[in-house]
């Protein structure tokens, strides 16, 4: 195979020869108008390869079972295309279980706080405190109802009968009810503290119950964050960009390991040509220079591009010192594939 050095030298010699022949051609008759000869474009030639700069790995942090695989190795996909359907029954059961634990823990906190409140009010008839107690009782009844309804809404959401937007809206309303209870209780605690009414044993129990509640809330956040990824849509994995599927690691019936890669996507928008230019010609290659790209798979095709970057360090390849150059590709089409070999002609001007 012809080396990079020889190809580049022959290209320049060929251009020089054409210029020399043009200069030695006999002059036309003085009676005829002189026809200008097109100037030969000077280029630096090199050999390169089509590559992808961004590869997206699709990973999961939980352990579902593969229910269906909708793509094949090397398949082109569009953003939004379904790649894999998952059986998430175990994950959904764990989330529902944790939500039930949270509701139970919150109810326990409310029960202890109500008991403390009853003791604190036994010998107190302050009208402001009585009003806060009444407000708290009403707000708490709304919150308790919301907690029970939330479990039903969670079941509908996990089964696909309720949209994520509607479910999130309902959860926000329950959170708002909880905040109303907390705000009133805070005001009541201050009022009672000023009157020095309290019970250390009950207060300690409340603190422990609140700590348990916070722990479960954290566990639920961790579970929900596992599915808060751009490529997880309900119980499916979907392409979050135009790309090419490769390295599919699972088949139908397999259980995906937590943290394991399921498959990868090549981002077609980051397709470039990476070529190596011989060191003696790199001085003639400038950033932004126009480039003609000719794939070896079909030399009748030609693509346009520009020099995007020049490496800051030379390397040795096949006994020659070369400088890696990255080239953009204009108007990419379905014919041009990653790992295609190409010839490039970089304008010297």
Per-residue pLDDT of the chain (349 residues; tens, 9 = 90+): 445 544 544 444 444 433 333 333 433 433 334 445 456 679 999 999 999 999 999 999 999 999 999 999 999 999 999 999 999 999 999 998 999 999 999 989 988 888 877 776 665 667 877 788 888 888 988 998 888 888 888 888 877 788 888 888 988 999 999 899 889 888 887 877 766 555 778 888 989 999 999 999 999 999 999 999 999 998 999 999 999 999 999 999 999 998 899 999 999 889 999 999 999 999 999 999 999 999 999 999 999 999 999 999 999 988 899 999 999 999 888 899 999 999 999 998 7
225's tokens: 């964050």
Secondary structure E strands in the chain: 43-52, 55-59, 65-69, 76-77, 82-87, 232-233, 236-238, 243-246, 261-267, 271-278, 290-295, 303-310, 315-317, 320-327, 341-347
235 and 210 Cβ atoms separated by less than 8 Å: no
Domains of the chain: 4-53+269-347 (2.40.30.170), 57-86+231-266 (2.40.50.100), 89-225 (no CATH)
pLDDT value at residue 6:
47
3 state DSSP class of 112? helix
pLDDT value at residue 19:
37
Distances in whole angstroms, Cα of residue 102 to Cα of each of 10, 210, 217, 220 = 76, 10, 7, 9
pLDDT value at residue 3:
53
Distances in whole angstroms, Cα of residue 210 to Cα of each of 104, 204, 207, 301 = 12, 10, 5, 70
58 and 263 Cβ atoms separated by less than 8 Å: yes
Q: Say how many CA atoms lie within 13 Å of 111 toward its Cβ.
A: 8
pTM: 0.63
76 and 244 Cβ atoms separated by less than 8 Å: yes
pLDDT value at residue 33:
42
């Amino acid at each position: 195979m012809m080396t990079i050095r020889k190809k580049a030298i022959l290209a320049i010699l060929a251009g020089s020869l054409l210029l020399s022949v043009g200069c030695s051609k006999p002059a036309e008759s003085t009676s005829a108008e002189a026809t200008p000869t097109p100037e030969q474009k000077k280029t630096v030639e090199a050999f390169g390869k089509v590559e992808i700069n961004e590869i997206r790995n699709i990973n999961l942090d939980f352990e579902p079972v593969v229910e269906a695989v909708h793509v094949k190795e090397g398949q082109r996909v569009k953003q939004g295309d379904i790649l894999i359907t998952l059986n998430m029954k175990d994950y959904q059961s764990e989330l529902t279980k944790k939500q039930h634990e949270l509701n139970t823990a919150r109810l326990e906190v409310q029960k202890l706080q109500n008991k403390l409140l009853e003791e604190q009010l036994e010998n107190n008839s302050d009208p402001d405190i009585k009003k806060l107690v009444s407000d708290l009782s009403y707000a708490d009844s709304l919150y308790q109802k919301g907690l029970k309804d939330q479990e039903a809404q969670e079941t509908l959401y996990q089964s696909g009968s309720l949209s994520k937007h509607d479910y999130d809206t309902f959860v926000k309303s329950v959170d708002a009810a909880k905040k109303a209870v907390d705000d009133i209780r805070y005001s009541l605690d201050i009022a009672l503290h000023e009157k020095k009414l309290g019970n250390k044993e009950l207060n300690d129990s409340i603190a422990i119950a609140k700590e348990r509640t916070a722990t479960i809330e954290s566990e639920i956040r961790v579970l929900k964050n596992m599915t808060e990824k751009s490529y997880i849509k309900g119980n499916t994995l979907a392409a979050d960009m135009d790309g090419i599927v490769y390295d599919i690691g699972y088949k139908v019936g397999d259980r995906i390991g937590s943290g394991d890669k399921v498959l990868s996507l090549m981002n077609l928008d980051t397709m470039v040509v990476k070529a190596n230019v011989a060191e003696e010609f790199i001085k003639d290659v400038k950033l932004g220079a126009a480039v003609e790209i000719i794939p070896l798979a079909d030399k009748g095709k030609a693509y346009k591009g520009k020099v995007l970057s020049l490496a800051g360090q030379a390397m040795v390849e096949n006994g020659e010192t070369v400088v890696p150059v990255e080239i953009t590709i204009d108007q990419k089409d379905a014919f041009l594939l990653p790992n295609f070999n190409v010839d490039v002609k970089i304008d010297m001007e």
